[in-house]
Chain A
Amino acid sequence: MLKRIFAIFRARNLEFMRDRSSLSWNIVLPVALMFGLSFIFSGGDRAVYTIGVLQSADQIDESVHPFLETRYMDFVPVASEADGFRKVARHRLDLLVRFDPPAQYWVNPDSPKGYYAEIALLQADQRNEIAKAQITGDAVRYVDWVLPGILGMNMMFSCLFGVGYVVVRYRKNGFLKRLHATPLRAIEFVIAQVASRLLLIIVITAFVYAGTKYFLDTRMEGSHLTLLIIAIIGSVSLISMGLLVAARVTSEELAGGLLNMVTWPMMLLSGVWFSLEAAEGWVRELAKVFPLTHVLDAARAVMLDGATLRDVSDEIAWLAIMSVVFLTLGASIFRWRSN
Chain B
Amino acid sequence: MPTALEARNLVKQYPGVLAVDDVSFSVAEGICFGLLGPNGAGKTTTVEIMEGVTPPSSGEVWYFGKPAGRKFREEAGIQFQNTALQDFLTVQETLEMFHSLYNRQADLERIIEECALGELLDRDNRKLSGGQRQRLLLAVALVNEPRLVFLDEPTTGLDPQARRNFWELVQRIRAGGTTIILTTHYMDEAHILCDDIAIMDEGKIISRGNPDELLRRQYKNVIIELPLEDVNGALDCIEHRVLESQGLIEVATDDVNASLQLLAANVTGLNRLKIRQPNLEDLFLDLTGHSLRA
- A binding-site residues for B, Cβ under 8 Å: 170, 173-175, 177-184, 336-337
- Report the count of interface residues on B (CB-CB < 8 A): 21
Determine the residue in chain A with the shortest Cβ distance to B74. Answer: A183
B83 touches A175 (CB 8 A): yes
A-B contact pairs, 25 of them (CB 8 A): A174-B80, A174-B82, A175-B84, A175-B86, A177-B80, A177-B83, A178-B80, A178-B83, A178-B85, A178-B140, A179-B101, A181-B53, A181-B73, A181-B76, A181-B78, A182-B73, A182-B98, A182-B102, A183-B70, A183-B73, A183-B102, A183-B103, A184-B101, A337-B53, A337-B54
User: Least Cβ distance of B55 to chain A in Å?
Assistant: 11
Q: Which residues of A contact B103 (CB under 8 A)?
A: 183
Q: Which of B51, B70, B84, B86 touches A181 (beta carbons < 8 Å)?
A: B51
- B binding-site residues for A, Cβ under 8 Å: 51-54, 70, 73-74, 76, 78, 80, 82-86, 98, 101-103, 140, 144
Q: Which of B53, B86, B101 touches A336 (beta carbons < 8 Å)?
A: B53
In Å, the complex CA distance between A336 and B54 comes to 10
In Å, the complex CA distance between A229 and B73 comes to 38
User: Least Cβ distance of B130 to chain A in Å?
Assistant: 16
Which among A170, A178, A179, A336 has the highest number of chain B CB atoms within 10 Å? Answer: A178
Q: Which residues of B contact A175 (CB under 8 A)?
A: 83-86
In Å, the complex CA distance between A178 and B80 comes to 7
Q: Which residues of A contact B101 (CB under 8 A)?
A: 179, 182-184
In Å, the complex CA distance between A300 and B140 comes to 49
Q: Which residues of B contact A173 (CB under 8 A)?
A: 84
Q: Identify the 9 closest CB pairs spanning chains A and B, nearest first.
A: A173-B84, A182-B101, A181-B78, A175-B84, A183-B73, A178-B83, A174-B84, A184-B101, A180-B53
Determine the residue in chain B with the shortest Cβ distance to A178. Answer: B83
Q: Which residues of A contact B83 (CB under 8 A)?
A: 174-175, 177-178
Determine the residue in chain B with the shortest Cβ distance to A175. Answer: B84
In Å, the complex CA distance between A175 and B97 comes to 13
Which among B73, B84, B103 has the highest number of chain A CB atoms within 10 Å? Answer: B84
Determine the residue in chain A with the shortest Cβ distance to B51. Answer: A181
B52 touches A181 (CB 8 A): yes
User: Least Cβ distance of A250 to chain B in Å?
Assistant: 14
B80 touches A181 (CB 8 A): yes
Q: Which residues of B contact A183 (CB under 8 A)?
A: 70, 73-74, 101-103
In Å, the complex CA distance between A200 and B69 comes to 35
Determine the residue in chain B with the shortest Cβ distance to A173. Answer: B84
Determine the residue in chain B with the shortest Cβ distance to A339. Answer: B14
